[in-house]
């Protein structure tokens, strides 16, 4: 022994159980593109339904039938009135849901349980509104069909030969109604895509 004290070497021990910093998960580019497409679809659907609403709500025509002057308007048919009400409701829903989707595009919006709840609510509401608008449009289509071709079983004669403008406006409104149904269906598909992305990033 050289008489000198041995110096102990101190080896720092790293606590592997200490929590490490986990970066916040943000929405990927694919998810943002999907939500942006969802937003644009909802705005497009709202514009489509506004146009359908204006066409149907202002649809009226006065024509001579024999010696009588008869005025045809959308409120004469309950199905057309239901169509106007349905398009108004669904249009309002599309605008509100567009605001919700716009909030998802904000960088500060994290993947949280509240966001998942809102995503599920939008997805279920999309389906509900799709079937709601489809039912109202289909019922109005049946009325428009009878107005165009009549019904031999009940003795109803066609009226579109005398109320051509009225029938054309109604047909255009119903075509836009079906376009609105298609748009809502696409929004529902994109909502499913968003839920899948949320699950994969949770």
Q: Cβ(119)–Cβ(198) under 8 Å? A: yes
- How many whole angstroms separate alpha carbon 101 and alpha carbon 193? 13
Q: Cβ(166)–Cβ(60) under 8 Å? A: yes
| pLDDT at residue 24 greater than cutoff 50 | no
Residue extents of the structural domains in the chain? 34-106+120-201
| pLDDT at residue 31 greater than cutoff 50 | yes
Largest CA distance in the chain: 135
Q: Write out pLDDT tens, residues 124-138.
A: 999 999 999 999 999
| pLDDT at residue 22 greater than cutoff 50 | no
* pLDDT the model gives residue 152: 79
* pLDDT the model gives residue 12: 52
- What architecture is the 34-106+120-201 domain classified under in CATH? Up-down Bundle (1.20)
Helices (H), 58-112: 78-104
Full-model pTM: 0.77
Mean pLDDT score, 143-147: 91
Q: Which of 115, 107, 130 is nearest to 41 (CA)?
A: 130
Contact residues for 78 (Cβ-Cβ < 8 A; gap 6+): none
| pLDDT at residue 29 greater than cutoff 60 | no
């Amino acid at each position: 022994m050289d008489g000198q004290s041995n110096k102990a070497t101190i080896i720092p021990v790293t606590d592997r159980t200490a929590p490490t910093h986990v970066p916040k998960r943000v929405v990927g580019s694919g998810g943002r593109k999907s939500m942006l497409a969802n937003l644009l679809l909802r705005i497009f659907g709202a514009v489509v339904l506004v146009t359908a609403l204006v066409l149907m709500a202002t649809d009226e025509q006065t024509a001579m039938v024999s010696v009588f002057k008869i005025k045809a308007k959308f409120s004469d048919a309950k199905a057309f009135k239901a169509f106007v009400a349905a398009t108004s409701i669904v249009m309002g829903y599309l605008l509100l849901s567009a605001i919700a989707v716009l909030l998802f595009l904000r960088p500060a919006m994290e993947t949280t349980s509240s966001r998942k709840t809102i995503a599920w609510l939008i997805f279920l509401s999309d389906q509900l509104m799709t079937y709601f608008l489809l039912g109202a449009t289909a019922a109005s289509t049946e009325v428009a069909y009878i107005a165009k071709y009549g019904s031999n079983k009940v003795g109803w004669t066609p009226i579109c030969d005398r109320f051509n403008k009225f029938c054309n406006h109604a047909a255009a409104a119903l075509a836009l109604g079906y376009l609105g149904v298609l748009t809502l269906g696409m929004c529902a598909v994109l909502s499913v895509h968003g839920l899948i992305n949320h699950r994969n990033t949770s």
